[in-house]
Structure 1
Amino acid sequence: MSVQQTDPLEDILTLVGTTGHLSVGLVAGGEWALSFDPPVAVKFNAVRRGRCLLTVDGVPEPLELAEGDCFLLTQPRAFTLASGPEVRPVPAGPVFEAAVDGRARAGTGEDVIFIGGRFDFGERAQELLLDALPPVIHVPGRTAEAATVRWALDQIDAELRDRPLASKLVTEHLALVLLIRVLRLHLALAGPGSASGWLAGLADPVVAPALGAMHARPAHAWTVAQLAEVAAVSRSTLAARFKHAVGQGPLDYLTGWRIELAADRLRRGDETMAAIAREVGYGSESALSNAFKRITGASPRDYRRRISP
Protein backbone atom coordinates (compact mmCIF):
# COMPACT_ATOMS: atom_id res chain seq x y z
CA MET A 1 0.00 0.00 0.00
CA SER A 2 1.58 3.26 -1.15
CA VAL A 3 0.44 6.26 0.88
CA GLN A 4 1.68 9.76 1.52
CA GLN A 5 3.73 10.17 4.69
CA THR A 6 4.80 13.24 6.66
CA ASP A 7 7.36 13.82 9.36
CA PRO A 8 5.87 13.52 12.87
CA LEU A 9 8.86 15.38 14.33
CA GLU A 10 8.11 18.37 12.11
CA ASP A 11 4.41 18.18 12.96
CA ILE A 12 5.00 18.20 16.71
CA LEU A 13 7.70 20.88 16.69
CA THR A 14 5.28 23.06 14.71
CA LEU A 15 2.34 22.29 16.98
CA VAL A 16 4.22 23.16 20.18
CA GLY A 17 5.42 26.47 18.74
CA THR A 18 9.19 25.93 18.85
CA THR A 19 11.42 29.02 18.71
CA GLY A 20 15.18 29.34 19.10
CA HIS A 21 17.12 32.20 20.71
CA LEU A 22 20.87 32.71 21.03
CA SER A 23 22.29 33.99 24.30
CA VAL A 24 25.51 35.68 25.38
CA GLY A 25 28.57 33.61 24.42
CA LEU A 26 31.21 32.44 26.88
CA VAL A 27 35.00 32.69 26.70
CA ALA A 28 37.01 30.89 29.39
CA GLY A 29 40.61 30.02 30.16
CA GLY A 30 42.95 28.73 32.82
CA GLU A 31 41.20 27.20 35.82
CA TRP A 32 37.52 28.09 35.88
CA ALA A 33 34.10 26.66 36.75
CA LEU A 34 30.61 28.12 36.48
CA SER A 35 27.44 26.80 38.14
CA PHE A 36 24.17 27.44 36.33
CA ASP A 37 20.71 27.47 37.88
CA PRO A 38 18.11 25.14 36.34
CA PRO A 39 17.14 26.81 33.04
CA VAL A 40 13.51 27.75 32.50
CA ALA A 41 13.74 26.68 28.84
CA VAL A 42 15.56 23.93 26.95
CA LYS A 43 19.22 24.94 26.98
CA PHE A 44 21.90 24.24 24.41
CA ASN A 45 25.63 24.97 24.31
CA ALA A 46 28.30 24.20 21.73
CA VAL A 47 32.07 24.16 22.21
CA ARG A 48 33.67 26.08 19.37
CA ARG A 49 37.19 25.89 20.81
CA GLY A 50 38.89 23.85 23.53
CA ARG A 51 37.38 21.33 25.94
CA CYS A 52 35.71 21.23 29.36
CA LEU A 53 33.60 19.13 31.73
CA LEU A 54 29.80 19.24 31.94
CA THR A 55 28.13 18.05 35.14
CA VAL A 56 24.33 17.85 35.29
CA ASP A 57 22.30 17.27 38.45
CA GLY A 58 20.97 13.72 38.50
CA VAL A 59 23.31 12.47 35.76
CA PRO A 60 25.83 10.11 37.41
CA GLU A 61 28.96 10.86 35.40
CA PRO A 62 30.32 14.17 34.07
CA LEU A 63 30.51 14.54 30.32
CA GLU A 64 33.76 15.50 28.63
CA LEU A 65 33.06 18.11 25.97
CA ALA A 66 35.58 18.57 23.15
CA GLU A 67 35.79 21.12 20.35
CA GLY A 68 32.76 20.74 18.08
CA ASP A 69 30.61 19.02 20.71
CA CYS A 70 27.23 20.35 21.73
CA PHE A 71 24.67 19.40 24.32
CA LEU A 72 20.96 19.88 24.83
CA LEU A 73 19.56 20.12 28.36
CA THR A 74 15.92 19.06 28.04
CA GLN A 75 14.90 19.33 31.71
CA PRO A 76 15.25 22.15 34.27
CA ARG A 77 18.33 20.81 36.03
CA ALA A 78 21.25 22.73 37.50
CA PHE A 79 24.54 22.17 35.68
CA THR A 80 28.19 23.13 35.84
CA LEU A 81 30.76 23.86 33.14
CA ALA A 82 34.37 23.64 34.30
CA SER A 83 37.96 23.34 33.14
CA GLY A 84 38.43 20.32 35.42
CA PRO A 85 36.82 18.31 38.22
CA GLU A 86 38.62 19.95 41.17
CA VAL A 87 37.80 23.60 40.46
CA ARG A 88 35.28 25.19 42.80
CA PRO A 89 32.47 26.75 40.73
CA VAL A 90 31.18 30.30 41.04
CA PRO A 91 27.62 31.32 40.10
CA ALA A 92 27.27 31.95 36.36
CA GLY A 93 24.64 34.70 36.71
CA PRO A 94 26.98 37.59 37.68
CA VAL A 95 29.53 36.47 35.07
CA PHE A 96 26.96 36.71 32.29
CA GLU A 97 25.54 39.97 33.63
CA ALA A 98 29.03 41.47 33.23
CA ALA A 99 29.28 40.36 29.58
CA VAL A 100 30.84 42.83 27.12
CA ASP A 101 30.12 42.81 23.37
CA GLY A 102 28.00 39.69 23.69
CA ARG A 103 30.61 37.60 25.52
CA ALA A 104 30.95 36.61 29.16
CA ARG A 105 34.41 35.74 30.49
CA ALA A 106 35.54 33.20 33.09
CA GLY A 107 39.06 32.49 34.30
CA THR A 108 41.97 33.89 32.29
CA GLY A 109 42.65 33.60 28.59
CA GLU A 110 40.60 32.18 25.73
CA ASP A 111 41.19 28.44 25.89
CA VAL A 112 37.51 27.63 25.51
CA ILE A 113 34.79 29.41 23.49
CA PHE A 114 31.10 28.55 23.65
CA ILE A 115 28.01 29.64 21.82
CA GLY A 116 24.67 28.86 23.41
CA GLY A 117 21.03 29.65 23.62
CA ARG A 118 17.63 28.30 24.46
CA PHE A 119 14.54 26.84 22.85
CA ASP A 120 11.09 27.96 23.93
CA PHE A 121 7.99 25.84 23.40
CA GLY A 122 4.25 26.09 23.81
CA GLU A 123 2.26 24.61 26.65
CA ARG A 124 2.02 21.05 25.26
CA ALA A 125 5.76 20.58 24.68
CA GLN A 126 6.49 18.92 28.01
CA GLU A 127 4.19 15.97 27.45
CA LEU A 128 4.48 15.73 23.67
CA LEU A 129 8.23 16.19 23.28
CA LEU A 130 10.41 16.81 26.32
CA ASP A 131 9.20 13.92 28.48
CA ALA A 132 10.22 11.58 25.66
CA LEU A 133 13.86 12.69 25.80
CA PRO A 134 16.72 11.98 28.23
CA PRO A 135 17.67 14.92 30.52
CA VAL A 136 20.81 15.69 28.52
CA ILE A 137 21.68 14.90 24.91
CA HIS A 138 25.39 15.00 24.03
CA VAL A 139 26.40 15.19 20.38
CA PRO A 140 30.13 14.51 19.80
CA GLY A 141 31.28 16.89 17.10
CA ARG A 142 34.07 14.87 15.55
CA THR A 143 31.94 12.10 14.11
CA ALA A 144 30.91 11.87 10.48
CA GLU A 145 27.25 11.73 11.51
CA ALA A 146 27.51 15.14 13.21
CA ALA A 147 28.50 16.94 9.99
CA THR A 148 25.09 18.60 9.63
CA VAL A 149 25.26 19.87 13.23
CA ARG A 150 28.73 21.30 12.54
CA TRP A 151 27.36 23.03 9.44
CA ALA A 152 24.63 24.76 11.48
CA LEU A 153 27.16 25.82 14.14
CA ASP A 154 29.53 27.19 11.47
CA GLN A 155 26.71 29.24 9.97
CA ILE A 156 25.72 30.62 13.37
CA ASP A 157 29.37 31.52 14.02
CA ALA A 158 29.56 33.40 10.71
CA GLU A 159 26.38 35.36 11.44
CA LEU A 160 27.61 36.32 14.92
CA ARG A 161 31.05 37.30 13.62
CA ASP A 162 30.07 39.33 10.56
CA ARG A 163 26.67 40.68 11.71
CA PRO A 164 25.13 41.03 8.22
CA LEU A 165 21.63 42.41 7.76
CA ALA A 166 18.92 40.47 9.66
CA SER A 167 21.57 38.37 11.41
CA LYS A 168 19.50 38.04 14.60
CA LEU A 169 16.58 36.53 12.68
CA VAL A 170 18.89 34.25 10.69
CA THR A 171 20.65 32.95 13.81
CA GLU A 172 17.31 32.20 15.49
CA HIS A 173 16.24 30.14 12.48
CA LEU A 174 19.62 28.43 12.38
CA ALA A 175 19.23 27.56 16.07
CA LEU A 176 15.97 25.80 15.20
CA VAL A 177 17.77 23.94 12.39
CA LEU A 178 20.36 22.92 14.98
CA LEU A 179 17.68 21.57 17.32
CA ILE A 180 16.11 19.45 14.58
CA ARG A 181 19.47 18.04 13.52
CA VAL A 182 20.48 17.26 17.10
CA LEU A 183 17.21 15.39 17.62
CA ARG A 184 17.62 13.51 14.34
CA LEU A 185 21.16 12.52 15.25
CA HIS A 186 20.11 11.48 18.74
CA LEU A 187 17.43 9.18 17.33
CA ALA A 188 19.82 7.75 14.75
CA LEU A 189 22.75 7.06 17.08
CA ALA A 190 21.51 6.59 20.61
CA GLY A 191 19.83 3.21 20.06
CA PRO A 192 16.93 1.47 21.85
CA GLY A 193 15.78 3.05 25.10
CA SER A 194 17.20 6.48 24.22
CA ALA A 195 13.72 7.93 23.77
CA SER A 196 10.17 6.98 24.62
CA GLY A 197 6.72 7.43 23.12
CA TRP A 198 6.38 8.57 19.52
CA LEU A 199 10.07 9.53 19.36
CA ALA A 200 11.01 5.92 20.03
CA GLY A 201 8.58 4.96 17.27
CA LEU A 202 10.43 7.16 14.78
CA ALA A 203 13.58 5.15 15.46
CA ASP A 204 11.80 1.86 14.73
CA PRO A 205 11.80 0.97 10.99
CA VAL A 206 8.48 -0.86 11.31
CA VAL A 207 6.65 1.74 13.40
CA ALA A 208 7.96 4.86 11.64
CA PRO A 209 6.05 4.35 8.32
CA ALA A 210 2.78 3.86 10.23
CA LEU A 211 3.40 7.02 12.24
CA GLY A 212 4.19 8.95 9.07
CA ALA A 213 0.99 7.75 7.40
CA MET A 214 -1.20 8.73 10.36
CA HIS A 215 0.39 12.18 10.53
CA ALA A 216 -0.08 12.66 6.79
CA ARG A 217 -3.79 11.78 6.93
CA PRO A 218 -5.04 12.07 10.53
CA ALA A 219 -8.67 12.32 9.40
CA HIS A 220 -8.53 9.02 7.49
CA ALA A 221 -10.39 6.10 9.05
CA TRP A 222 -7.25 4.05 9.53
CA THR A 223 -7.39 0.39 10.50
CA VAL A 224 -4.54 -1.63 11.94
CA ALA A 225 -4.62 -3.74 8.76
CA GLN A 226 -4.09 -0.66 6.56
CA LEU A 227 -1.25 0.62 8.75
CA ALA A 228 0.35 -2.82 8.71
CA GLU A 229 0.22 -2.78 4.94
CA VAL A 230 1.97 0.61 4.93
CA ALA A 231 4.67 -0.85 7.18
CA ALA A 232 4.87 -4.05 5.09
CA VAL A 233 4.32 -6.34 8.10
CA SER A 234 1.46 -8.35 9.56
CA ARG A 235 -1.18 -6.75 11.78
CA SER A 236 0.07 -8.63 14.82
CA THR A 237 3.68 -7.58 14.16
CA LEU A 238 2.74 -3.91 13.78
CA ALA A 239 0.52 -3.94 16.86
CA ALA A 240 3.23 -5.54 19.00
CA ARG A 241 6.08 -3.33 17.72
CA PHE A 242 3.98 -0.19 18.03
CA LYS A 243 2.93 -0.97 21.59
CA HIS A 244 6.50 -1.83 22.59
CA ALA A 245 8.02 1.32 21.06
CA VAL A 246 5.33 3.94 21.64
CA GLY A 247 3.63 2.55 24.74
CA GLN A 248 0.16 2.34 23.20
CA GLY A 249 -1.56 0.80 20.22
CA PRO A 250 -1.60 2.54 16.82
CA LEU A 251 -5.28 3.48 16.94
CA ASP A 252 -4.95 4.81 20.48
CA TYR A 253 -2.04 6.93 19.27
CA LEU A 254 -4.15 8.16 16.34
CA THR A 255 -6.95 9.19 18.70
CA GLY A 256 -4.50 11.09 20.90
CA TRP A 257 -2.97 12.90 17.91
CA ARG A 258 -6.40 13.86 16.58
CA ILE A 259 -7.28 15.35 19.96
CA GLU A 260 -3.98 17.29 19.99
CA LEU A 261 -4.85 18.72 16.56
CA ALA A 262 -8.37 19.59 17.72
CA ALA A 263 -7.03 21.29 20.87
CA ASP A 264 -4.57 23.28 18.77
CA ARG A 265 -7.40 24.53 16.55
CA LEU A 266 -9.46 25.42 19.60
CA ARG A 267 -6.55 27.44 21.01
CA ARG A 268 -5.72 29.27 17.79
CA GLY A 269 -8.99 30.09 16.10
CA ASP A 270 -12.74 30.39 16.12
CA GLU A 271 -13.65 27.48 13.82
CA THR A 272 -16.93 25.76 14.58
CA MET A 273 -16.86 22.47 16.45
CA ALA A 274 -18.39 20.74 13.44
CA ALA A 275 -15.61 22.01 11.14
CA ILE A 276 -12.89 20.93 13.57
CA ALA A 277 -14.52 17.52 13.92
CA ARG A 278 -14.40 17.00 10.15
CA GLU A 279 -10.79 18.17 9.90
CA VAL A 280 -9.51 15.73 12.51
CA GLY A 281 -11.49 12.67 11.50
CA TYR A 282 -14.76 12.67 13.43
CA GLY A 283 -18.08 12.34 11.68
CA SER A 284 -19.94 14.64 14.04
CA GLU A 285 -19.46 17.25 16.73
CA SER A 286 -20.77 14.83 19.34
CA ALA A 287 -18.23 12.16 18.34
CA LEU A 288 -15.39 14.69 18.73
CA SER A 289 -16.82 15.92 22.02
CA ASN A 290 -16.98 12.41 23.47
CA ALA A 291 -13.41 11.57 22.44
CA PHE A 292 -12.08 14.94 23.53
CA LYS A 293 -13.63 14.66 26.99
CA ARG A 294 -12.40 11.09 27.39
CA ILE A 295 -8.81 12.14 26.62
CA THR A 296 -8.61 15.59 28.24
CA GLY A 297 -11.32 15.46 30.91
CA ALA A 298 -13.08 18.52 29.44
CA SER A 299 -15.48 19.06 26.58
CA PRO A 300 -14.20 21.07 23.57
CA ARG A 301 -16.44 24.00 24.53
CA ASP A 302 -15.21 24.02 28.12
CA TYR A 303 -11.62 23.74 26.91
CA ARG A 304 -12.06 26.71 24.55
CA ARG A 305 -13.64 28.83 27.28
CA ARG A 306 -10.83 27.94 29.68
CA ILE A 307 -8.00 28.93 27.36
CA SER A 308 -9.68 32.02 25.86
CA PRO A 309 -8.10 35.33 27.01
Structure 2
Amino acid sequence: MMLRLMKMFGLAFVETTTERARRGPARPSWGFGFEWVVRFLRRDFAYVLDRPYPDVRAELDARPYSQKAVRRVKRMDDTLKGVPAVWFEPPGAASRGVVLYLHGGSYLFGSTRTHADLMARLALASGARVVGIDYRLAPEHRYPAQLEDALAAFDALIERGHAPGEIALAGDSAGGNLALVTQLALRDRGAQARCAALISPWLDLTASSASAIANDSTDYGTREGLLRQARDFAGATPLDDPRLSPLHARLEGLASLFIQVGDAERLHDEGQELARRAREVGVDVTLDVLRDMPHNGPVLADFHPEGARGTDALGAYLRARLSSSAAAATRPDAA
Protein backbone atom coordinates (compact mmCIF):
# COMPACT_ATOMS: atom_id res chain seq x y z
CA MET A 1 0.00 0.00 0.00
CA MET A 2 2.71 2.47 0.97
CA LEU A 3 4.60 1.95 -2.29
CA ARG A 4 1.44 2.64 -4.29
CA LEU A 5 0.74 5.81 -2.30
CA MET A 6 4.31 6.99 -2.83
CA LYS A 7 4.00 6.33 -6.57
CA MET A 8 0.76 8.33 -6.75
CA PHE A 9 2.34 11.20 -4.84
CA GLY A 10 5.24 11.14 -7.31
CA LEU A 11 2.95 11.21 -10.33
CA ALA A 12 0.89 13.99 -8.75
CA PHE A 13 4.11 15.96 -8.17
CA VAL A 14 5.04 15.71 -11.87
CA GLU A 15 1.52 16.69 -12.96
CA THR A 16 1.46 19.66 -10.61
CA THR A 17 4.85 20.88 -11.77
CA THR A 18 3.84 20.58 -15.43
CA GLU A 19 0.44 22.22 -15.04
CA ARG A 20 1.69 25.15 -12.97
CA ALA A 21 4.46 25.80 -15.50
CA ARG A 22 1.84 25.84 -18.26
CA ARG A 23 -0.93 27.93 -16.69
CA GLY A 24 0.05 28.95 -13.14
CA PRO A 25 -1.85 27.87 -10.01
CA ALA A 26 -5.27 26.29 -10.49
CA ARG A 27 -6.71 28.78 -7.98
CA PRO A 28 -5.21 32.10 -6.84
CA SER A 29 -4.50 30.96 -3.28
CA TRP A 30 -3.21 27.50 -4.14
CA GLY A 31 0.44 27.04 -3.28
CA PHE A 32 2.39 24.23 -4.88
CA GLY A 33 1.98 21.92 -1.89
CA PHE A 34 -1.78 22.31 -1.71
CA GLU A 35 -2.26 21.77 -5.43
CA TRP A 36 -0.04 18.70 -5.14
CA VAL A 37 -2.33 17.29 -2.44
CA VAL A 38 -5.44 17.91 -4.55
CA ARG A 39 -3.76 16.21 -7.53
CA PHE A 40 -3.00 13.21 -5.34
CA LEU A 41 -6.62 13.03 -4.18
CA ARG A 42 -7.79 13.07 -7.80
CA ARG A 43 -5.57 10.09 -8.56
CA ASP A 44 -6.66 8.34 -5.40
CA PHE A 45 -10.35 8.71 -6.29
CA ALA A 46 -9.72 7.19 -9.74
CA TYR A 47 -7.93 4.27 -8.11
CA VAL A 48 -10.78 3.67 -5.66
CA LEU A 49 -13.32 3.46 -8.50
CA ASP A 50 -11.65 0.34 -9.87
CA ARG A 51 -11.35 -1.52 -6.56
CA PRO A 52 -13.85 -3.74 -4.69
CA TYR A 53 -15.40 -1.78 -1.84
CA PRO A 54 -14.28 -4.17 0.94
CA ASP A 55 -10.68 -3.75 -0.25
CA VAL A 56 -11.04 0.03 -0.34
CA ARG A 57 -12.45 0.10 3.20
CA ALA A 58 -9.62 -2.04 4.54
CA GLU A 59 -6.97 0.08 2.86
CA LEU A 60 -8.47 3.38 3.97
CA ASP A 61 -8.69 2.20 7.57
CA ALA A 62 -5.05 1.03 7.45
CA ARG A 63 -3.62 4.31 6.17
CA PRO A 64 -1.55 6.53 8.46
CA TYR A 65 -3.62 9.57 9.43
CA SER A 66 -2.65 12.67 11.36
CA GLN A 67 -2.93 12.13 15.11
CA LYS A 68 -2.20 15.71 16.21
CA ALA A 69 -5.79 16.54 17.10
CA VAL A 70 -6.65 13.01 18.26
CA ARG A 71 -3.83 13.13 20.82
CA ARG A 72 -5.38 16.27 22.35
CA VAL A 73 -8.74 14.66 23.12
CA LYS A 74 -9.93 11.67 25.12
CA ARG A 75 -10.99 8.86 22.78
CA MET A 76 -13.45 6.18 23.97
CA ASP A 77 -15.11 3.27 22.14
CA ASP A 78 -18.82 2.73 22.70
CA THR A 79 -21.98 1.20 21.24
CA LEU A 80 -25.18 3.15 20.75
CA LYS A 81 -28.13 0.77 20.41
CA GLY A 82 -25.98 -1.76 18.61
CA VAL A 83 -24.21 0.80 16.41
CA PRO A 84 -20.41 0.98 16.94
CA ALA A 85 -19.38 4.45 18.10
CA VAL A 86 -16.31 6.42 19.16
CA TRP A 87 -16.30 9.45 21.48
CA PHE A 88 -13.89 12.37 21.19
CA GLU A 89 -13.89 14.49 24.35
CA PRO A 90 -11.91 17.75 24.44
CA PRO A 91 -10.35 19.16 27.61
CA GLY A 92 -12.96 21.01 29.65
CA ALA A 93 -15.83 19.66 27.54
CA ALA A 94 -19.26 21.16 28.05
CA SER A 95 -21.30 19.06 30.47
CA ARG A 96 -24.40 18.59 28.29
CA GLY A 97 -23.99 19.32 24.59
CA VAL A 98 -23.13 16.43 22.23
CA VAL A 99 -22.35 16.38 18.50
CA LEU A 100 -23.50 13.21 16.72
CA TYR A 101 -21.13 12.95 13.76
CA LEU A 102 -21.83 11.04 10.54
CA HIS A 103 -18.78 10.41 8.36
CA GLY A 104 -18.57 10.76 4.59
CA GLY A 105 -17.49 8.25 1.96
CA SER A 106 -20.32 8.04 -0.58
CA TYR A 107 -22.19 5.71 1.81
CA LEU A 108 -19.80 2.99 0.57
CA PHE A 109 -16.69 3.43 2.72
CA GLY A 110 -15.26 5.65 5.46
CA SER A 111 -15.33 5.07 9.21
CA THR A 112 -14.62 6.58 12.59
CA ARG A 113 -11.00 5.64 11.86
CA THR A 114 -10.73 7.59 8.58
CA HIS A 115 -12.50 10.61 10.08
CA ALA A 116 -10.95 10.59 13.56
CA ASP A 117 -8.81 13.68 12.91
CA LEU A 118 -11.80 15.69 11.66
CA MET A 119 -13.97 14.67 14.62
CA ALA A 120 -11.19 15.49 17.08
CA ARG A 121 -10.70 18.90 15.44
CA LEU A 122 -14.43 19.54 15.67
CA ALA A 123 -14.46 18.58 19.35
CA LEU A 124 -11.59 20.97 20.07
CA ALA A 125 -13.16 23.80 18.05
CA SER A 126 -16.64 23.42 19.55
CA GLY A 127 -15.72 22.48 23.11
CA ALA A 128 -18.32 19.71 22.91
CA ARG A 129 -18.05 15.97 23.03
CA VAL A 130 -18.29 14.46 19.55
CA VAL A 131 -19.49 10.92 18.99
CA GLY A 132 -19.03 9.35 15.56
CA ILE A 133 -20.79 6.17 14.48
CA ASP A 134 -19.86 3.37 12.10
CA TYR A 135 -23.19 3.08 10.33
CA ARG A 136 -23.80 0.22 7.91
CA LEU A 137 -22.42 0.69 4.41
CA ALA A 138 -23.75 0.06 0.91
CA PRO A 139 -24.01 -1.84 -1.34
CA GLU A 140 -24.30 -4.60 1.27
CA HIS A 141 -26.72 -2.38 3.21
CA ARG A 142 -28.63 0.10 1.09
CA TYR A 143 -31.04 2.85 2.13
CA PRO A 144 -32.56 3.07 4.73
CA ALA A 145 -29.97 1.13 6.78
CA GLN A 146 -27.81 4.23 7.32
CA LEU A 147 -30.77 6.34 8.43
CA GLU A 148 -31.90 3.58 10.78
CA ASP A 149 -28.44 3.49 12.39
CA ALA A 150 -28.29 7.29 12.76
CA LEU A 151 -31.75 7.36 14.38
CA ALA A 152 -30.78 4.49 16.69
CA ALA A 153 -27.70 6.40 17.83
CA PHE A 154 -29.77 9.55 18.40
CA ASP A 155 -32.32 7.57 20.42
CA ALA A 156 -29.52 6.03 22.49
CA LEU A 157 -28.29 9.50 23.42
CA ILE A 158 -31.83 10.43 24.47
CA GLU A 159 -32.06 7.30 26.62
CA ARG A 160 -28.81 8.31 28.31
CA GLY A 161 -30.37 11.55 29.47
CA HIS A 162 -29.73 14.07 26.69
CA ALA A 163 -32.64 16.20 25.55
CA PRO A 164 -33.01 16.49 21.76
CA GLY A 165 -32.04 20.17 22.03
CA GLU A 166 -28.71 19.18 23.58
CA ILE A 167 -27.70 17.17 20.50
CA ALA A 168 -26.29 18.61 17.28
CA LEU A 169 -26.03 16.59 14.08
CA ALA A 170 -23.00 17.02 11.82
CA GLY A 171 -21.48 15.25 8.85
CA ASP A 172 -19.40 15.65 5.72
CA SER A 173 -20.26 14.73 2.12
CA ALA A 174 -22.50 11.62 2.31
CA GLY A 175 -22.48 12.18 6.07
CA GLY A 176 -23.86 15.66 5.43
CA ASN A 177 -26.62 14.03 3.41
CA LEU A 178 -27.28 11.62 6.28
CA ALA A 179 -27.29 14.41 8.87
CA LEU A 180 -29.95 16.25 6.90
CA VAL A 181 -32.17 13.22 6.19
CA THR A 182 -31.87 12.26 9.87
CA GLN A 183 -32.99 15.73 10.92
CA LEU A 184 -35.89 15.54 8.46
CA ALA A 185 -36.95 12.20 9.97
CA LEU A 186 -36.64 13.63 13.48
CA ARG A 187 -38.76 16.63 12.46
CA ASP A 188 -41.46 14.27 11.24
CA ARG A 189 -41.25 12.35 14.53
CA GLY A 190 -41.67 15.59 16.48
CA ALA A 191 -38.34 16.09 18.28
CA GLN A 192 -35.42 17.43 16.26
CA ALA A 193 -31.78 17.83 17.17
CA ARG A 194 -30.74 21.36 18.14
CA CYS A 195 -29.18 21.97 14.72
CA ALA A 196 -27.44 20.28 11.81
CA ALA A 197 -24.01 21.24 10.47
CA LEU A 198 -23.42 20.05 6.91
CA ILE A 199 -19.90 20.00 5.46
CA SER A 200 -19.81 19.79 1.65
CA PRO A 201 -23.10 17.89 1.77
CA TRP A 202 -23.97 15.47 -1.06
CA LEU A 203 -27.53 16.65 -1.61
CA ASP A 204 -28.43 15.73 -5.20
CA LEU A 205 -27.32 12.24 -6.17
CA THR A 206 -28.11 12.97 -9.84
CA ALA A 207 -25.11 15.35 -9.95
CA SER A 208 -27.11 17.70 -12.16
CA SER A 209 -25.90 21.08 -10.86
CA ALA A 210 -23.72 23.36 -12.99
CA SER A 211 -20.80 23.14 -10.55
CA ALA A 212 -20.72 19.36 -10.91
CA ILE A 213 -19.11 20.03 -14.29
CA ALA A 214 -17.73 23.57 -13.97
CA ASN A 215 -15.52 22.72 -10.98
CA ASP A 216 -14.18 19.47 -12.37
CA SER A 217 -10.62 20.81 -12.73
CA THR A 218 -10.38 22.06 -9.13
CA ASP A 219 -12.02 19.21 -7.25
CA TYR A 220 -11.15 15.58 -6.73
CA GLY A 221 -13.44 12.82 -7.86
CA THR A 222 -15.40 12.77 -11.10
CA ARG A 223 -19.06 13.32 -11.89
CA GLU A 224 -19.25 9.90 -13.55
CA GLY A 225 -17.63 8.28 -10.53
CA LEU A 226 -20.07 9.95 -8.15
CA LEU A 227 -23.01 8.75 -10.23
CA ARG A 228 -21.68 5.19 -10.17
CA GLN A 229 -21.26 5.33 -6.42
CA ALA A 230 -24.72 6.87 -5.99
CA ARG A 231 -26.29 3.98 -7.91
CA ASP A 232 -24.42 1.45 -5.78
CA PHE A 233 -25.90 3.11 -2.71
CA ALA A 234 -29.41 3.66 -4.05
CA GLY A 235 -30.06 0.32 -5.71
CA ALA A 236 -33.54 0.39 -7.23
CA THR A 237 -34.50 3.70 -5.58
CA PRO A 238 -34.41 6.62 -8.06
CA LEU A 239 -31.49 8.97 -7.46
CA ASP A 240 -33.78 12.01 -7.34
CA ASP A 241 -35.97 10.51 -4.60
CA PRO A 242 -36.07 13.15 -1.81
CA ARG A 243 -35.22 10.47 0.75
CA LEU A 244 -31.84 10.04 -0.98
CA SER A 245 -31.45 13.52 -2.48
CA PRO A 246 -32.72 15.81 0.31
CA LEU A 247 -32.21 18.91 -1.83
CA HIS A 248 -35.67 17.98 -3.16
CA ALA A 249 -37.21 17.31 0.26
CA ARG A 250 -39.80 19.42 2.08
CA LEU A 251 -37.74 21.68 4.35
CA GLU A 252 -40.45 23.50 6.32
CA GLY A 253 -40.03 23.38 10.08
CA LEU A 254 -36.37 22.38 10.15
CA ALA A 255 -34.20 23.58 13.01
CA SER A 256 -31.12 25.72 12.36
CA LEU A 257 -28.79 24.66 9.54
CA PHE A 258 -25.11 25.38 8.98
CA ILE A 259 -24.08 24.68 5.38
CA GLN A 260 -20.42 24.83 4.39
CA VAL A 261 -19.20 24.44 0.81
CA GLY A 262 -16.05 25.27 -1.12
CA ASP A 263 -16.37 27.54 -4.14
CA ALA A 264 -14.00 25.23 -6.07
CA GLU A 265 -15.88 22.01 -5.35
CA ARG A 266 -18.29 19.99 -7.42
CA LEU A 267 -21.05 20.15 -4.78
CA HIS A 268 -20.90 23.95 -4.41
CA ASP A 269 -24.20 24.69 -6.15
CA GLU A 270 -26.09 22.02 -4.18
CA GLY A 271 -25.17 23.66 -0.90
CA GLN A 272 -26.08 27.11 -2.20
CA GLU A 273 -29.43 25.85 -3.46
CA LEU A 274 -30.25 24.12 -0.17
CA ALA A 275 -29.55 27.38 1.67
CA ARG A 276 -31.81 29.29 -0.70
CA ARG A 277 -34.69 26.81 -0.47
CA ALA A 278 -34.44 26.51 3.31
CA ARG A 279 -34.47 30.28 3.81
CA GLU A 280 -37.53 30.60 1.57
CA VAL A 281 -39.53 28.47 4.02
CA GLY A 282 -38.26 30.25 7.14
CA VAL A 283 -35.38 28.02 8.24
CA ASP A 284 -32.50 29.72 10.05
CA VAL A 285 -29.51 29.12 7.76
CA THR A 286 -25.83 29.98 8.09
CA LEU A 287 -24.03 29.56 4.75
CA ASP A 288 -20.23 29.47 4.88
CA VAL A 289 -18.45 29.44 1.50
CA LEU A 290 -14.77 28.51 1.70
CA ARG A 291 -12.74 30.50 -0.81
CA ASP A 292 -10.77 28.41 -3.34
CA MET A 293 -11.52 25.18 -1.49
CA PRO A 294 -12.37 21.82 -3.06
CA HIS A 295 -14.54 19.19 -1.44
CA ASN A 296 -14.51 18.89 2.36
CA GLY A 297 -12.33 21.88 3.18
CA PRO A 298 -11.84 21.14 6.92
CA VAL A 299 -10.14 17.83 6.05
CA LEU A 300 -7.46 19.93 4.32
CA ALA A 301 -6.95 22.28 7.26
CA ASP A 302 -3.26 21.35 7.56
CA PHE A 303 -2.64 22.39 3.96
CA HIS A 304 -4.64 25.59 3.46
CA PRO A 305 -5.64 28.35 5.92
CA GLU A 306 -9.17 28.47 4.54
CA GLY A 307 -9.67 24.85 5.55
CA ALA A 308 -8.56 25.74 9.08
CA ARG A 309 -10.93 28.73 9.08
CA GLY A 310 -13.73 26.40 8.03
CA THR A 311 -13.06 24.15 11.01
CA ASP A 312 -13.12 27.15 13.34
CA ALA A 313 -16.38 28.39 11.82
CA LEU A 314 -18.01 24.99 12.32
CA GLY A 315 -16.80 24.88 15.90
CA ALA A 316 -18.05 28.38 16.67
CA TYR A 317 -21.49 27.59 15.23
CA LEU A 318 -21.84 24.37 17.23
CA ARG A 319 -20.53 25.99 20.40
CA ALA A 320 -23.06 28.83 20.12
CA ARG A 321 -26.03 26.56 19.38
CA LEU A 322 -25.26 24.03 22.09
CA SER A 323 -24.43 26.75 24.62
CA SER A 324 -27.74 28.50 24.01
CA SER A 325 -29.52 25.17 24.47
CA ALA A 326 -27.77 24.60 27.80
CA ALA A 327 -28.60 28.13 28.94
CA ALA A 328 -32.26 27.63 28.10
CA ALA A 329 -32.32 24.34 30.00
CA THR A 330 -31.02 26.01 33.18
CA ARG A 331 -33.41 28.99 33.21
CA PRO A 332 -35.97 28.87 36.04
CA ASP A 333 -38.82 29.06 33.51
CA ALA A 334 -37.36 26.39 31.18
CA ALA A 335 -39.81 23.79 32.38
TM-score range, shorter chain: under 0.3
**TM-score, normalised with respect to structure 2:** 0.25
Q: Which has the higher strand share?
A: 1
Taking CA–CA contacts closer than 8 Å with sequence separation of 6 or more, which of the two structures ends up with the larger relative contact order?
1
Query: Which is higher, the Rg of structure 1 or of structure 2?
Result: 1
**TM-score, normalised with respect to structure 1:** 0.26
